[in-house]
Amino acid sequence: MGEAVEQERDYLIQLRRHFHKHPEVSLKEYHTAEKIEKELDEFGIPHERVGETGVTAVLTHNSDAATAKKIVLRADIDALPIAEKNQTEYKSENPGVMHACGHDAHTASLLGAAKILKAQEEVINGTVTFLFQQAEEIGGGAKQFIKAGCLKDADRVFGIHMQPGLPVGTVSVKAGECNASVDYFKITVHGKSAHVSTPHLGVDALYIASQIVVSVQSIIARGLNPLEDGVVGIGKLSAGNNYNIVANEAVLEGTTRAFNETTRAFLNQRVREIAEATAKMYGASVEFVFQDYTSPLVNDKEAAAEVEKLGVELLGRDKVLTNQPKYMLGDDFAEYLKDVKGQFLFVGSNGGAKTSYPLHHEQFDLDEDAVLIATEFYVEYTKKIIGKR
């Protein structure tokens, strides 16, 4: 660990625990944003809001305008509607809300990096833009920062995510396809009520919805190229009012996932076509709601090579993994990568049994050495890209 980061160990851990104790769900991160702004004020870094709860800050120091560059560093700040079951001194104090995805660590790491980079700003040749992004969990934050122009003229964008599937002290660097797109759909089937003793007088929305659930599985099994990866999942089906009444309405909610835009469009189109055809066959109608949560996350190859080289310098060759599988989880960091070359780095956070629970688990926790490692990567990658030559 670098000396500058090690000197901030207590600060980083205290900060991460503060955010963990005070989690806030997507688009409600008011206290979190205020705390971030307070710390930035202490560092002397100017900042402003993006939306109601996002924060962006800019640090500029041009020693040579002709060669100056811009890097964008991102951390997500929102928590999840999960009741925490850990018993720690920093357990969530907000009932039913928990940092179960490591965003508390991401936020603390980026603030730590901002503090260190401000103290070392003479080594910077260009601009560092810090994004403390709201609403990652619902795909509602990245696009606000893009619309606000925060990535304009950027040379690189860099983000980090905790990974309990990897031991602390290791990182995963991946070029190309990394995380899947995430699209949400809701299908409402409109039928006709009748008594179950006279089903011929009704149109059974529950039966039709059940047929849709079964039929959409054929998209992956028989419609998708076996060499492509994709998911069509339905996690919720609600229908009916009573045991002896033919349901006049049924509602299905689900998601599609893919690693490229062609597959993504195909899956969404086929879900719609199958639902419409199935409903029509039984005399029902359907209506759809589709929500675009995030695009496929595709890391730039050049940026991946840069981060891999840095990882070897910081941790050693055996601690930098480049062969990890793709994740069907989504992250709206993907939206930044559509405009700017960059890398989404996974930092191992598993230090033993208590920190081995998966993301979004009610007992998720992390080895806090991972916070320091993340901070180190934010700082040192910035220097690699916009440091003095």
- pLDDT-derived band at 389, boundaries 50, 70, 90: low
DSSP 353: G
Average of per-residue pLDDT values in the chain: 97
pTM beyond 0.85: the answer is yes
Judge whether 261 and 295 are in contact, CB under 8 Å.
yes
pLDDT digits (tens, 9 = 90+) for 284-306: 999 999 999 999 999 999 999 99
Token pair recorded at residue 118? 């401000």
Judge whether 161 and 103 are in contact, CB under 8 Å.
no
CA distance 351 to 348: 9
With residue 59 as reference, give the H or E element that holds it. strand 54-61
Same domain for 70 and 56: yes
Question: What is the structure's pLDDT at 62?
Answer: 86
SS3 212: helix
Same domain for 379 and 269: no
Same domain for 101 and 62: yes
Judge whether 342 and 268 are in contact, CB under 8 Å.
no
Q: Which residues pair with 55 in a beta bridge?
A: 49, 132
Lowest mean pLDDT among 63-72, 92-101, 376-385: 63-72
Judge whether 282 and 206 are in contact, CB under 8 Å.
no
What count of other Cβ atoms lies within 10 Å of the Cβ of residue 121? Answer: 15
pLDDT digits (tens, 9 = 90+) for 160-199: 999 999 999 999 999 999 999 999 999 999 999 999 999 9
Q: Considering the chain, what percentage of its residues have pLDDT values greater than 90? A: 97
Residue that terminates a domain, selected from 293, 320, 345: 293
Same domain for 167 and 199: no
Q: Which of 42, 62, 48, 46 is nearest to 115 (CA)?
A: 42
Task: List the domain range (segments joined by +) for residue 190.
Answer: 182-293
Residue that terminates a domain, selected from 293, 319, 352: 293
Same domain for 128 and 240: no
CA distance 24 to 323: 34
Q: What angle do CA 252, 255, 256 make, to 5 degrees?
A: 130
Question: What is the structure's pLDDT at 173?
Answer: 98
What count of other Cβ atoms lies within 10 Å of the Cβ of residue 61? Answer: 18
- Per DSSP, the residues of 239-270 read E-SSTTEE-SEEEEEEEEEESSHHHHHHHHHH
Pairing of strands 171-172, 54-61: unpaired
Token pair recorded at residue 222? 């028989």
Read off the pLDDT of each residue in 123-133 and give the average, rounded to a whole number: 97
Judge whether 176 and 209 are in contact, CB under 8 Å.
no
Residue that terminates a domain, selected from 293, 313, 338: 293
Same domain for 157 and 53: yes
Token pair recorded at residue 282? 């039984």
Pairing of strands 249-258, 230-239: antiparallel
Alpha carbons within 13 angstroms on the beta-carbon side of residue 335 total 20
CA distance 138 to 291: 10
Same domain for 175 and 194: no
Same domain for 379 and 301: yes
CATH number at residue 111: 3.40.630.10
Which spans in the chain are helix H? Answer: 3-7, 9-21, 30-43, 103-119, 142-147, 205-215, 217-218, 261-281, 301-315, 333-337, 369-386
CATH number at residue 273: 3.30.70.360
- Per DSSP, the residues of 166-206 read EETT-EE---EEEE--EEEEEEEEE-B-EETT-GGGSB-HH
Judge whether 19 and 76 are in contact, CB under 8 Å.
no
Same domain for 203 and 318: no
Read off the pLDDT of each residue in 89-115 and give the average, rounded to a whole number: 98
Length of the chain: 389
Read off the pLDDT of each residue in 216-226 and give the average, rounded to a whole number: 95
Q: From the centroid of its chain, how far is CA 23?
A: 16
The yes-or-no verdict on residue 66 having pLDDT over 90 is no
Same domain for 218 and 336: no
Same domain for 81 and 7: yes
With residue 55 as reference, give the H or E element that holds it. strand 54-61
Q: How many structural domains compose the chain?
A: 2
Same domain for 89 and 36: yes
Q: What angle do CA 193, 199, 200 make, to 5 degrees?
A: 105
